[in-house]
């Protein structure tokens, strides 16, 4: 077997192969831990978040996003169903304690119109006010072109919010 040139050997296995092996193992473990605990890889299915997120696009959910602070209005979050493998991708529009209503397609927060620059399509929803409890958030998709009964939206308890979507 031909001996590798020194520069190639260093590039491949480093000056000390044992140290390189330990480094690679540590890096591998860190990647697995980060992937399992901090980031969730997801693929978008459906049109409810158009035009912000396209059907079929791939993204990551940061599970550590809300360790230091609570979810904010405008955040796109993952809402778990029975577990983390399937989740709803929705935008938070209502925060705990607020009252949310839809009038002629506009969102009213405690009676005030919410500015939503991410909503590009026309919406004509009229939905009665909903008062949120201390641990509840109102979530909805950006695409509200369909009748409201065909759009998955509503009140999500804090424990259902898995994390924040990374763009």
Partner 1 sequence: MKIIFRLVLAAALVGLGVWMWFVLFPSPEKVIRKRLVGLARTVSFSTNEGNLTRLAGAQNLGFFFSTNVEVNIDVPGHERHVFVGRGEIIQAALAARSAVAGLTVKFPDINITVAPDKQSAVADLTVEARVSGQQDLIVQEMKFTLQKTDGQWLVTHIETVRTLS
Piece of 6-14, 21-29, 76-84, 102-110 that binds partner 1 (CB under 8 A): 76-84
Q: 3-state SS of the chain?
A: CCCCCHHHHHHHHCCCHHHHHHHHHHHHHHHHHHHHHHEEEEECCCCCCCCCCCCCCEEEEECCCCCCCCCCCCCEEEEECCCCCCEEEEEEEECCCCEEEEECCEEEECCEECCCCCCCCCCCCCEEEEECCCCEEEEECCCCCCCHHHCCCEEEEHHHEEEEEEC
Q: Does 81 bind partner 1 (CB under 8 A)?
A: yes
CB of 13 to partner 1, least distance (A): 32
144 binds partner 1 (CB under 8 A): no
- CA separation for the pair 96, 101 (Å, rounded): 14
- Whether 157 is a known active-site residue: answer no
Tell which positions 95-134 bind partner 1, by CB under 8 A.
none
- How many CB atoms lie under 10 A from the CB of residue 165? 24
Region near partner 1 per CB under 8 A, out of 63-71, 78-86, 109-117, 121-129: 78-86
Is 120 noted as a catalytic residue in this protein?
A: no
- Of the two residues 23 and 131, which places its CB atom closer to partner 1 in the complex? 131
CB of 64 to partner 1, least distance (A): 21
Pick between residue 65 and residue 139 the one whose CB is nearest to partner 1.
139
User: 45 vs 70, which CB is nearer to partner 1?
Assistant: 45
**Which residue ranges make up the site for partner 1 (CB under 8 A)?**
45-46, 79, 81-86, 88, 90, 139, 147, 149-150, 152-156, 160
């Amino acid at each position: 077997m031909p001996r590798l040139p020194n520069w190639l050997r260093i590039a491949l296995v480093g000056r000390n192969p044992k140290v390189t092996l330990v480094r690679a193992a540590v890096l591998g473990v860190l990647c697995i831990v980060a992937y399992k605990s901090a980031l969730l890889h997801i693929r978008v299915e459906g049109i409810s978040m158009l035009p912000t997120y396209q059907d079929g696009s791939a993204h990551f959910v940061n599970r550590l996003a809300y360790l230091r602070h609570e979810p904010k209005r405008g955040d796109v979050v993952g809402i778990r169903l029975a577990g983390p493998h399937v989740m709803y991708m929705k935008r938070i529009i209502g925060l705990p304690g607020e009252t949310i209503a839809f009038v002629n397609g506009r969102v009213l927060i405690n009676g005030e119109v919410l500015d939503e620059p991410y909503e590009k399509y026309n919406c004509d929803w009229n939905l009665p006010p909903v008062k949120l409890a201390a641990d509840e958030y109102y979530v909805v998709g950006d695409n509200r072109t369909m009748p409201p009964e065909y759009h998955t939206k509503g009140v999500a308890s804090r424990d259902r919010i898995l994390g924040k979507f990374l763009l």
